[in-house]
Structure formats: C-alpha cells, structure tokens
Amino acid sequence: MFKVIRDLFRYDGRFRLAAFFLTAVTVMIILSYVSPYDPDKSFVVAMDMPPSPEHIFGTDSRGQDVFWWMTFAMRNSFFMGVITAAVSRVIAILMGLSAGYRGGWLDRFLMSVTDTFVVLPLLPILILLGFLLRDIMNQFLLGFILALFGWPYDARLIRSQVLTLRERAFTRTAVYSGTGPFWITIREHLPFVMPIVLATTINNILWAIGFEVTLSILGLSDLTRPSIGTALYWANQHGALVAGVWWWIAAPTLAAIVLALGLYLLLTSVNDYIDPRTRLRLIGG
C-alpha cells in the first residue's frame, strides 16, 4: 500500500491534487470537533459580516460563523455519503457475485430485480419519501434510503466481471477441490472485483451528496442539521444574494467543489494505476 501511494505521489499530479483537496476536507471535519460555536445556536456573532481574519468565511444572517458551521456541514455530508456507499456496496457485491456465479434462474431473478431499480424514477420517489418522512428524517436515515437505490448499476458491473471469472481455470480448480460456491465467490472472485468496488464507492459518495443537496434545497431533509445542502437552503431562505451576503452561498459551493474534485481526481488516478497498461505509461515503463 505504501508503495502504491508513493508511486501515485511521484508520478501522478492528479493524485497530489486530490490529496491536497481531501486533506482540506479532513482538516475541516477534524475542526468540527473543536469548534468554539454550537451549530444549533443562532445569533452568537454579529450578522452579515464579510470574510475577515476573525471570520474566515464571514457570518450569516442567522448570526453564525460560516466557516465553523461549514465544518459541521462537511462532516455530516461526507459521513452521510459514506453510509450510503457502504450499505449500497454490500448490496451490490451480494447481488453481483451471486448472479454472476450461480447463473440460471437465480441470475435471471436477481437481474430482473436490478433492472426494476434501474428504471425507477428516482428523484420523484425521493421527493415523496422526503415529504412522508420529514418528521423523522435525519442524516443516517437519508443515507440508508439513498443506499437502497444506489446499487443496481454497480451490481451489473460486478456481475459482468464474475461471468468471466467463473470460466477461468482457477475457478474450476476450486470447484474440483470441493470448495463451496459461497467461498469461491468470497475467496476467489471478490478480490478481482474490488477495483470496481473502490471506483463505485467514490462515485456513490458523490452521488449521495448530490441528492442530499437537492433534497435539502427543496426542504425535504433534516434542516436542523448542518450539511452542504442545508447551508444552501438557509442562504436561499434568507435571500443571501439579494442581501449581498454572497459568501453565505460561496462557502458551501466551494466546499462541494473541493470535495467533488478531490474524490473525482482520486478515482481517476487510482483507476489508471490499477490498469497495468496505463500504470506502465504513467511511471515511464
């Protein structure tokens, strides 16, 4: 692992830039635990103050320091994305491995379920669920709901990989040696699909944060908890642009861009390193 990170740092500028962005995100998340301000309290600082050395991102119309409030927002949005990615990866792996290796009626049934989720009109469903569950909605519940819809494309990718793996010689050897289907998929096939799992995990985190922002702007998430989406919601509710409080909009927008670019650049650089052909070209082989 150390050698991989060393090579990526040495040869890939995208990885270095991703490390810079994600380090900034990590620092903001850590700072949320030592914040001098309670994010649930309003009017603790002067209102609508522009960015300054005392208030790096300025203050908002609710009397809150935008920088310190955004540390909580970054933490909650990122953890919600991680919850979505973790739960949906488990579903995608189970569905993809089972359908790809078992084949037959199980493959047809699981892929029928997968295709059903693929064609569902996701945004209207999430808006409906957000409206129905508004009173109990929180970051964990939202992450879990998004996870239930975030796995079908990735399950199909995993299945396609396993369809080729089950015809390989090492799979036949494992079958002839008496290894059960479960352990074949876990020990023999899962390591080969982990690059897909890694790539789709990063993509799923971005996907989940995007939907969280969309639902929050519509007022259908937990608006009492700081997040990138709720920051934009409250800025819009108070007419930040009309009032000239542009930094209230700029801060969550910048945070979203830094997080998205960091994860995207990490994804592309790691994907190129995993592929032997692009890795050799990257390191000058």
CATH number of the domain that residue 59 is part of? 1.10.3720.10
Rounded-to-integer distance, Cα 185 and Cα 208, Å: 28
At residue 79 the predicted structure's pLDDT band, cuts being 50, 70 and 90, is very high
Q: Which residue has the tokens 């052909």?
A: 277
What average pLDDT does the chain have?
88
As given in the structure block, the two tokens for residue 268 are: 């592309």
Closest to 64 (Cα-Cα) out of 226, 223, 215: 226
C-alpha radius of gyration, the chain, whole number: 22
| Residues paired with residue 65 on neighbouring β-strands, in sequence order | 59
Where in the sequence is the domain holding 171, given as residue range(s)? 2-282
Q: Is 244 helix (H, G, I), strand (E, B) or coil?
A: coil
Rounded-to-integer distance, Cα 214 and Cα 229, Å: 7
At residue 83 the predicted structure's pLDDT band, cuts being 50, 70 and 90, is very high
Q: Is the pLDDT of residue 86 over 80?
A: yes
Please check whether residue 29 is in contact with residue 75, taking contact to mean a CB–CB distance below 8 angstroms.
yes
Q: Is the pLDDT of residue 274 over 90?
A: no
Predicted pLDDT at 275: 65
Mean pLDDT of 158-165: 89
104, 105, 153, 159, 178 from 98: Cα distances, Å:
11, 11, 15, 8, 18
CA torsion angle for 187, 156, 83, 271 (degrees, to 10)? 80
Predicted pLDDT at 280: 65
Number of domains in the chain: 1
Predicted pLDDT at 173: 85
Mean pLDDT of 248-272: 89
As given in the structure block, the two tokens for residue 50 are: 């522009």
Is the entire prediction scored with pTM above 0.75?
A: yes
Rounded-to-integer distance, Cα 126 and Cα 214, Å: 10
Rounded-to-integer distance, Cα 194 and Cα 158, Å: 9
Q: Is the pLDDT of residue 113 over 60?
A: yes
